[in-house]
Amino acid sequence: MGNSGGSLTTRATRELHGLMREAGLTGIDDTEALAEDWQVTDFSDAGQRSLSALVQRTGTPAVLVSFHDSDVGFIEALTPDGIGWEGLLNREMAESYEIPLEHFPIESAVADALAWSAAAGLTPDEEAIRHTLTGSALFAEELSSALMVALGLPRATS
């Protein structure tokens, strides 16, 4: 059985773990520092509207990916100004779970991801975003990592 938790990528904020708990995220793990004050934190479960509550509390853009048994990733992203998007990773596996793919149109997700990335002060790669949203992998976490790079998020610090 694979990962059924998720990951949150956001700008560094003091007391992030406390703010994550207040926003309804549970099972919070250690935070990995990325360059340019970004960070990624794994969690075991997110409540409904957790991302919105967290972005309001931190005042920073964020991307939350929830995994279903490491097979599928559900993406939510939001900026403090309300620019957001949703997407789906590993569509082929999602289809085997009978997740309605029409609820996750690719072209609007790509366009919205580009807008979110620009609003977050990042430089996205449109084709790489499209590739992660249409690609398949053994583990959805692989596509999630590739998506973060495609959105223009910096890599981990040394």
Domain for residue 1, yes or no? no
Domain for residue 10, yes or no? yes
Residue 24 tokens, joined? 């309804």
| Predicted pLDDT of residue 30 | 82
Q: Classify the phi-psi angles of 69: left when phi > 0, otherwise alpha if psi is within -120 to 50, otherwise beta.
A: left
- DSSP reduced 3-state for 153: coil
Q: Which residues contact 56 (CB under 8 A, 6 or more apart)?
A: 80
Domain for residue 156, yes or no? no
| Predicted pLDDT of residue 48 | 76
Domain for residue 157, yes or no? no
Range of the domain at 141: 6-150
What residues form DSSP beta bridges with 46?
25
* pLDDT, tens only, 84-129: 999 999 999 999 999 999 999 999 999 999 999 999 999 999 999 9
Q: Report the predicted TM-score, pTM, of the whole model to 2 decimal places.
A: 0.92
| Predicted pLDDT of residue 156 | 64
pLDDT < 50 stretches in the chain? 1, 158
Vertex 128 angle, CA 123 and 133, to 5°: 115
| Predicted pLDDT of residue 52 | 94
Domain for residue 155, yes or no? no
Query: What's the domain count of the chain?
Result: 1
What residues form DSSP beta bridges with 63?
9, 77
- DSSP H or E run through 32: strand 31-33
Domain for residue 158, yes or no? no
